[in-house]
Amino acid sequence: MRFFSGKSAQARWFKAILAALCATLLACSDNSSQKHLAQAKAKPDPYTIRFVTINSPSTYFIDSQNNYAGLEYDLAKRFVEFLGPPYKLEFIVVDSFDKVFPTLLRGDADIAAADISITPARKRQVLFGPAFNQVQAMVVYNRDKNGEPNTAEALFEKRIVLPKSTSFVERMRELQSKSPALTWKETDKLSSEQLIEAVARNEIDFTVADNHLVAIMQYNYPQLDAGMMLGQADKIAWALNKLHGEERLTQMQVFFKKIEKDGTLRNLLDRYHGHTKRLKPVDVTAFLSKSHTLLPKYVRLFKSAQEITDIDWRLLAALSYQESHWDNYSTSPTNVRGLMMLTEQTSNMMNVTDRLDPKQSVMAGAKFLLWMKDRIPSRIPEPDRTFMTLAAYNNGVGHLEDARIIAQKLGLNPDSWADVKRGYQLLNDPAYYVNARHGYCSCGAPVIYTELVRSYYQIMQKYFPAYDPGVDPYKIAETKIPWLLAKAS
């Protein structure tokens, strides 16, 4: 064995160690480079369209029936269906809005769909598709704790928190340029919805949100209100990465042009926002109060009716509230009575012996609603078919069919509630009702009725859990009941 000795030996020893270290580092570097190259080569499936979004009532959520829902979700689903096989849909849900654009820009998503306002600053970052909605930024306040903020001065020295990286921050900066004393805090930990809830609980004084979200949240917190508007109305659109979004942008343009022309877009906007301005705060307050005082006496009846008819007990309760405000002894000038405000004809049809008996009233009302639904074409998709059923419960199937025919003659979709509402509103116009089979109708009433029931149902879904009766051998499988039809004839 040979040993190193002296300075030359030490020098050779250091060179050997250095060479070994370099070889090790080079090997590590090569392995690391190979890993990075492998990752770079692992390109995403070109037929999987990845949408990045956030959870909110306006974008993407799981509804009370455990189904995916939200305007952005429905639009994305239809876009992928429009592209056809082999395209597939994938949603990437980030926990705050300020992560949406970074996810898009680093290539982890193909499209950003998160209720995104088009602003000049954002247009420098991304490509925007066609605008499909319009919103207005509003200062949100709690009317029980603060006066209405109509000026920038009303916001001075207040607890204001905004969701980070949103258009609301841009709007506040514009206001601050004219009123330098204005200050606020920004957070990436809380969503717009959570900040609005914080205002309702008086944990902060103000936040800023879009008007359609404020309208939805007012159903849960009637003490909320919208103060001053910030800037002009914003248009909402999907965003694309400028580096490789041109081809997808062309597809988007064709898609949105199609759904705007065929009424799909109008129907989706109505589904999520068409009913949100029907209730006043005082109405919501009264409803919430009675849901704690009167409703508990009848919950079991509504759930029993669900077991028989498979209609969500919360929808039945919302319908009953619209009819009688859960006043069992309610009677109208036209002699409709009880919790479900049954007419004599309907009561006879349903073999009701006492309309003021809550059990008979709820069950008969639920069965009659189910019977009405069976008379409406099954091709009509949900939830439009349910909305039309509610209108028919209020004012008959005949006027509903007249409204659908008018909608069709106008070139609208007779299977879309958003379009049928237009047909209803024309049934008091001689140019239309003289040719209608069932004649004149003050048909704004069933439209308002339906939208109010929708509103109460939405509140019920927020505060009361769904009911799962499990396997029930008594559930009706067929609604064309021979004895019921015989009674109706």
Q: Which among 257, 9, 278 has a CA at the least distance from the CA of 131?
A: 257
Catalytic (active site) residue 323: yes
Using CA atoms, how far apart are residues 451 and 457, in angstroms rounded to an integer? Answer: 10
Residues whose CB falls within 8 Å of the CB of residue 149, separated by 6 or more in sequence, listed in order? 139, 141, 155, 206, 227, 228
Tell me how far the alpha carbon of residue 384 is from its chain's centroid: 15
Buried b (16+ CB within 10 A) or exposed e, 400-429: bbbbbbbbeeeebbbbbbbbbbbbbbbbee
Among 72, 323, 401, 451, the one annotated catalytic: 323
Q: Which among 284, 273, 302 has a CA at the least distance from the CA of 463?
A: 284
Q: Is residue 67 exposed (0-12), middle (13-18) or buried (19+ Cβ within 10 Å)? A: exposed
Pairing of strands 48-53, 68-69: unpaired
Cβ-contact 133, 235 below 8 angstroms: yes
Tokens of residue 35, six digits: 């890993």
First to last CA, the chain: 114
Angle separating helix axes 417-425 and 444-463, nearest 10 degrees: 140
Q: Reading across the β-sheet that carries 137-142, which strands appear in turn?
A: 207-210, 137-142, 224-229
Residues recognised as catalytic: 323
